[in-house]
C-alpha cells in the first residue's frame, strides 16, 4: 500500500538549497531552491505536479515563510538510484485485520501484484491461527495486466472475499475485468489496499450491488482540504489528460503526501535560522554539517495537511498517530463507513449501518427465488385463465414472499427448482436441489419448507426460522371398534377381575376360619335357656361367601361380625371394595362411550421394533438426513431399515408418500406441520406419537449474502405483528374432520350395555334351575321321611305349595320327637 515513512512516500528525494553564498549576498528576499528528481523518465508524474503545486501555494501564503520565494529545480535520475519508503507493514496489517474482523470473514483470498506485496502480507499469512481465518494466496501474472484467467479460477472456486494488494492503475484494470467476468454482484466483497480507491472511476459499479472496501488517507471532510483539492482539480483539468482509470482532476494519495512533505519541510525551515548551505558536489560524499540539526527540526515540525494532522515520532521519524478512512462503495459513490486510528483501532461512523431502514439495499432489486411444489407452501393456482410468471403459484410461501417484498421493497421472480429436490449431500460431497442453486448463485433466495440443518448451514446461510416444527409419523387412522355388549367389564383388566374374585374367595375363607377360631362369634341360639350347652356360629362357609359378595356389590348381607378380629377383616374388605367400585365407576362412562382406536403403532420405537409396516421419508430431504446422521440407536436402526429398502422406503415427494400411506401398509416420516395440513383434509390419516426432533424452516441465501440479515429482520417484524400465525391459519385450516370426542355425552345403546341384560337373564335362568333343584332335593328328603314314593311326594308338595289361596307357610315334615323335645318346644313358644 502507498503510504509515508514520516511524511515522505515516493520514489523521489527532496533537497532544499539555501543561496547563502558570497555570490548572492544582496538585500533581495531569500530564495530557496527545491530539487525533485523523477525516477519515471521524461513523463510528468502526479508527484511532480504536486511538488510544483505545493511550492506555488507556499509562495502564495506569505505567512508560512515570509520574505522568501521558493523555486524548484527538477532533475531526473536513474530508477535504481532512488528509494521508496512506506507505512510500517505491521500498521497496515493491523488495519487490514481489523477490517476483516469487522466484516466477520472466515475465508479470504489475497491476490498480490509483485514480490513486495508478498513481503507485506507476511504478517497477514500468520494471522489464521489467532483470528480463525482461512487464507489463500494468489499472485497476478507479472508484467501482464490480463487477470481474467486468475479471476476465472476464483469464480469457479467460489472465492467471494478477495483482497487485492496492487497499485491503483492495476485496480482500475481489475475492476473492468471483474465486471466482464460477471463478478460485480452483491455476493462478492473486494477489498483494495491501495489508498487511491476513492480516486478511481467507480461510476459503472455503483448500482451493481457489489461490496467494495478500501482505505483513504485524505481528510476530505476538512473544508481546507476540499478547497485545496478543488484548486488542484481546476489546474489539472486545464492541463494534459490524467492517467487512465482516475476520475478527472482528482488528487491521488501520492500527490497529497508529496504536497504535505513540501509543507513539512517549509515548516521546519522556519526554525532553520543561521544555517548555510554550500553547493553540493555529486562526486563527494561529505554530509551537510547542519543535516542532523535540520532533521531534528523536521521531526519536531507539525502540520495539518491534506492527509490529516502530521506528527512524527522523535526517535525514528515515523508517522505513528494517523487516521485511515474505511470507505465502501454505495449507490451514491464511495462513502466513509468507519475510521481506523493507529492507536484506537476502528470506529464505526456510518450511522446508516446502525439505524438505516432495512429497505436501503433491496429497494427496486429483482431477486430470483427458488422454491418447490409442496402443499400448502407452494401450489399451482387453479384458474380458468392461463397464468404466467408469479401468478401461477399460491400458498403460504407465496404470501410470505409477498410480505417480505412489501417490507423490503424488492421485486421477485419465482422459479421451481430444476431437479425437484430440497437439497442433500451425496457421498462425494456434492449438493443438489435448492441448496445447490443457492451455492451456484442461480437463485438469490430459497423460500420453501427448507429445514435449517447443520450441514446446510455450512454451505448456505439461513434467516431466522419463520416456522418451528418437528418430525413425526403419518399413518392411516385405525378403524374404530365398538365397545361391545360386555364393555362394562372393560374398566378393569381381566387380571384385575381375576384378582378381585380371588380376593373375595380368600377373604371369605379367612373370615370363616377366624369366625370359627374366635370365641366371640359363637352364641347361644336359645337365649331363654342360658344353661344350654348348644352354641351356634352364623359364619358358615356359605355365609362367609355371602358376606364378601354382599360387600363387593355394595349390598347388606344381614350378617354382622361380633368379634374384633372378624370386624377388622370386614372393615378392610369394605375399604378394598370401596376403592375398587369407585375406580370401576369412574372409568365406566369412558369405556362405554368412547370408540376404541386400536393402532398397530404408537411411536417411533414401535416402528423400529417391527418390520411388517414399511416406513420411510422423502429422498434427499432433511428428514432423511436426520435419520442418516443420527447417533441414537432407535433412529440408527430405522435408517438401516430405510437404507436397505431405498427403492420402496424412500419416496420422491410428500404426495407420493401420502398415496402409499392410503393404499398400502406404509408409515411416512415427515414434518409435523405437513402432517397437520394433510390430516385436516384427509380424515383417514392421522399423526402417530409426538415429535421426534425440533427444528425450523428458514429462508435460504447464498453464503455472505447481504439479504440474509434484512430478511431476518422482516421475518421478526411479521412474527411480532402476528402475520405469520394468520398466514398459517389461512392455509392450514381445512374443511375439518368430525371431532372424535363430542362435548355432549352420547346416549348409551344396546351395543354399549346389552351385556348387563344378558347377565341378568342368565342369572334369572340360573335361579330357576337352582330352585327346581332345591325343590326336587327337598321332595326326595320328604319322601324318605314319609315313606312314600318320590313322585307322590313331589305331587303332594306341589299341590300344597301351589294352592293360590294357601298361606305362605309350609307344614314341617313329620319327624319322631321325644316327649322331652316336645316339652322344650312348648316352653320356648310360650316365652316367646
Task: Encode 339-354 in three state secondary structure.
Answer: EEECCCEEEECCHHHH
CB atoms within 10 A of CB 832: 6
CA distance 141 to 113: 8
* Nearest-angstrom CA–CA distance, 744 and 346: 71
Pairing of strands 411-416, 366-371: parallel
* Dihedral (CA of 45, 46, 47, 52) sign: positive
> What are the cell numbers at 119?
513481503
Cα gap 713→710, rounded to integer Å: 5
Provide the 10 A C-beta neighbour count for residue 648: 13
701, 445 Cβ separation under 8 angstroms: yes
Q: Is the Cα dihedral 802, 804, 806, 807 positive or negative?
A: positive
* Separation CA 581–CA 673 (nearest Å): 43
Alpha-carbon distance 566 to 509, whole Å?
12
179, burial (CB in 10 Å: exposed 0-12, middle 13-18, buried 19+): middle
Yes or no: say if 124 and 96 are a contact pair by the CB < 8 Å rule. yes
- The full DSSP string for 771-803 is HHHHHHHHHHHHHHHHT--HHHHHHHHHHHHT-
| Cβ atoms of 797 and 775 closer than 8 Å | yes
Give whole-number Cα distances, 485 to 709, 749, 758, in Å: 64, 9, 9
Is 451 assigned a ligand-binding role in the annotation? yes
Beta bridge partners of 107: 134
Name the grid cell of 699: 429462508
Q: What angle do CA 565, 570, 571 make, to 5 degrees?
A: 95
Cβ 181 vs Cβ 151: under 8 Å: yes
Q: Is 411 annotated as a binding residue?
A: no
Contact assessment for residue 443 and residue 437, using Cβ atoms and an 8 Å cutoff = yes
Contact between 474 and 670 under an 8 Å Cβ cutoff? The reply is yes
Q: Residue 333: left (phi > 0), alpha (psi -120 to 50), or beta?
A: left
**Grid cell digits, residue 652:** 420422491
Within a 10 A sphere around the Cβ of 329, how many other Cβ atoms? Answer: 21
185 labeled part of a ligand binding site: no
Identify which of 305, 349, 309 has the alpha carbon closest to the alpha carbon of residue 326: 349
99 touches 16 (CB < 8 A): no
Report which of 663, 711, 666, 691 is spatially closest to residue 674, judged by C-alpha positions: 691
Inter-CA distances, 491 with 576, 587, 602, 663, Å:
17, 5, 21, 35
**Element of type H or E holding 469:** strand 467-469
> Which triple of cell numbers denotes residue 539?
359364619
| 729: Cα separation from own chain's centroid | 22
CA gap 460, 797 in Å, rounded: 102
Strand pairing report for 411-416 and 379-380: unpaired
φ, ψ of residue 503 to 5 degrees: the values are -65, -40
Does residue 352 have a known ligand-binding role? no
The residue count for the chain: 832
Alpha helix (H) ranges present in 374-447? 396-408, 433-439
Number of Cβ atoms within 10 Å of the Cβ of 647:
5
DSSP state letter for 22: G
Q: Which residues are annotated as a binding site for L-glutamate?
A: 449, 451, 456, 622-623, 671
Q: Which residues are annotated as a binding site?
A: 449, 451, 456, 622-623, 671
Amino acid at each position: 500500500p502507498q503510504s509515508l515513512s514520516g511524511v515522505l512516500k515516493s520514489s523521489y528525494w527532496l533537497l532544499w538549497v539555501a543561496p547563502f553564498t558570497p555570490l548572492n549576498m544582496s538585500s533581495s528576499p531569500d530564495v530557496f531552491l527545491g530539487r525533485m528528481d523523477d525516477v519515471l523518465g521524461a513523463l510528468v508524474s502526479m508527484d511532480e505536479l504536486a511538488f510544483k503545486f505545493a511550492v506555488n501555494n507556499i509562495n502564495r501564503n506569505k505567512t508560512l515563510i515570509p520574505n522568501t520565494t521558493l523555486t524548484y529545480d527538477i532533475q531526473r535520475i536513474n530508477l535504481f538510484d532512488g528509494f521508496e519508503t512506506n507505512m510500517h507493514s505491521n500498521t497496515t496489517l493491523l488495519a487490514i485485520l481489523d477490517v476483516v474482523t469487522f466484516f466477520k470473514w472466515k475465508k479470504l483470498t489475497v491476490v498480490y501484484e509483485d514480490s513486495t506485496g508478498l513481503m507485506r502480507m507476511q504478517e497477514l499469512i500468520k494471522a489464521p491461527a489467532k483470528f480463525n481465518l482461512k487464507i489463500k494466496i494468489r499472485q497476478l501474472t507479472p508484467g501482464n495486466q490480463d487477470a481474467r484467467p486468475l479471476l476465472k479460477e476464483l469464480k469457479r472456486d467460489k472465492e467471494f472475499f478477495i483482497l487485492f494488494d496492487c497499485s491503483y492503475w492495476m485496480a482500475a484494470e481489475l475492476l473492468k475485468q471483474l465486471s466482464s467476468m460477471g463478478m460485480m454482484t452483491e455476493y462478492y466483497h473486494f477489498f483494495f489496499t491501495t489508498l487511491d480507491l476513492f480516486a478511481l472511476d467507480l461510476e459503472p459499479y455503483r448500482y451493481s450491488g457489489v461490496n467494495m472496501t478500501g482505505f483513504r488517507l485524505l481528510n476530505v471532510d476538512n473544508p481546507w482540504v476540499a478547497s485545496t483539492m478543488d484548486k488542484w482539480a481546476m489546474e489539472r483539468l486545464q492541463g494534459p489528460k490524467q492517467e487512465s482509470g482516475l476520475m478527472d482532476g482528482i488528487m491521488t494519495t501520492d500527490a497529497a503526501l508529496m504536497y504535505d512533505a513540501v509543507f513539512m519541510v517549509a515548516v521546519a525551515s522556519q526554525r532553520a535560522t543561521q544555517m548555510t548551505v554550500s553547493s553540493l558536489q555529486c562526486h563527494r560524499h561529505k554530509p551537510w554539517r547542519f543535516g542532523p540539526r535540520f532533521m531534528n527540526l523536521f521531526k519536531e515540525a507539525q502540520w495539518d495537511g491534506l492527509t490529516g494532522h502530521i506528527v512524527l515520532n522523535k526517535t525514528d521519524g515515523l508517522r505513528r498517530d494517523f487516521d485511515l478512512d474505511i470507505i465502501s462503495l454505495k449507490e451514491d459513490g464511495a462513502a466513509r463507513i468507519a475510521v481506523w486510528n493507529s492507536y484506537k483501532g476502528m470506529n464505526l461512523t456510518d450511522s446508516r449501518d446502525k439505524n438505516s431502514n432495512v429497505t436501503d439495499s433491496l429497494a427496486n432489486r429483482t431477486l430470483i427465488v427458488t422454491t418447490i411444489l409442496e402443499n400448502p407452501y407452494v401450489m399451482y393456482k387453479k384458474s380458468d385463465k392461463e397464468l404466467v410468471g408469479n401468478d401461477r403459484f399460491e400458498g403460504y410461501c407465496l404470501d410470505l414472499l409477498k410480505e417480505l417484498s412489501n417490507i423490503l421493497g424488492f421485486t421477485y421472480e419465482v422459479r421451481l427448482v430444476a431437479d425437484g429436490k430440497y437439497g442433500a449431500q451425496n457421498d462425494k460431497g456434492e449438493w443438489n436441489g435448492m441448496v445447490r442453486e443457492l451455492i451456484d448463485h442461480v437463485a438469490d433466495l430459497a423460500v420453501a419448507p427448507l429445514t435449517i440443518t447443520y450441514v446446510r448451514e455450512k454451505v448456505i446461510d439461513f434467516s431466522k426460522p419463520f416456522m418451528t416444527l418437528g418430525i413425526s409419523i403419518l399413518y392411516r387412522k385405525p378403524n374404530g371398534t365398538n365397545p361391545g355388549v360386555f364393555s362394562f367389564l372393560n374398566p378393569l383388566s381381566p387380571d384385575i377381575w381375576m384378582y378381585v374374585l380371588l380376593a373375595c374367595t380368600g377373604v371369605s375363607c379367612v373370615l370363616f376360619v377366624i369366625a370359627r377360631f374366635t370365641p366371640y362369634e359363637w352364641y347361644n341360639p336359645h337365649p331363654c335357656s342360658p344353661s344350654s350347652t348348644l352354641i351356634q356360629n352364623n359364619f358358615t362357609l356359605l355365609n362367609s361367601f355371602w358376606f364378601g359378595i354382599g360387600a363387593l356389590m355394595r349390598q347388606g348381607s344381614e350378617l354382622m361380625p361380633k368379634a374384633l378380629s372378624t370386624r377388622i377383616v370386614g372393615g378392610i374388605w369394605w375399604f378394598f371394595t370401596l376403592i375398587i367400585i369407585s375406580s370401576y365407576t369412574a372409568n365406566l362412562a369412558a369405556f362405554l362411550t368412547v370408540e376404541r382406536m386400536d393402532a398397530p403403532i404408537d411411536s417411533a420405537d414401535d416402528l423400529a421394533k417391527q418390520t411388517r409396516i414399511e416406513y420411510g421419508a422423502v429422498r434427499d430431504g432433511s428428514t432423511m438426513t436426520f435419520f442418516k446422521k443420527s447417533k441414537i440407536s432407535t433412529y440408527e436402526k430405522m435408517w438401516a431399515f430405510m437404507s436397505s429398502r431405498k427403492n420402496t422406503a424412500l419416496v420422491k415427494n410428500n404426495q407420493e408418500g401420502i398415496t402409499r400411506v392410503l393404499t398400502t401398509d406404509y408409515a411416512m416420516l415427515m414434518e409435523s406441520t405437513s402432517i397437520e395440513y394433510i390430516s385436516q383434509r384427509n380424515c383417514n390419516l392421522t399423526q402417530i406419537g409426538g415429535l421426534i426432533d425440533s427444528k425450523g424452516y428458514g429462508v435460504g441465501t447464498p453464503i455472505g449474502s447481504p439479504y440474509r440479515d434484512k430478511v431476518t429482520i422482516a421475518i421478526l417484524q411479521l412474527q411480532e405483528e402476528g402475520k405469520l400465525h394468520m398466514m398459517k391459519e389461512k392455509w392450514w385450516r381445512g374443511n375439518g374432520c368430525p371431532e372424535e370426542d363430542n362435548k355432549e355425552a352420547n346416549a348409551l345403546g344396546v351395543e354399549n350395555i346389552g351385556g348387563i341384560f344378558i347377565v341378568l337373564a342368565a342369572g334369572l335362568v340360573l335361579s330357576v334351575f337352582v330352585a327346581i333343584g332345591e325343590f326336587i332335593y327337598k321332595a326326595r328328603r320328604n319322601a324318605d321321611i314319609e315313606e312314600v314314593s318320590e313322585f307322590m311326594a313331589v305331587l303332594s308338595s306341589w299341590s300344597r305349595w301351589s294352592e293360590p289361596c294357601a298361606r305362605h307357610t309350609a307344614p314341617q315334615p313329620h319327624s319322631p320327637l321325644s316327649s322331652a323335645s316336645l316339652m322344650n318346644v312348648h316352653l320356648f313358644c310360650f316365652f316367646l
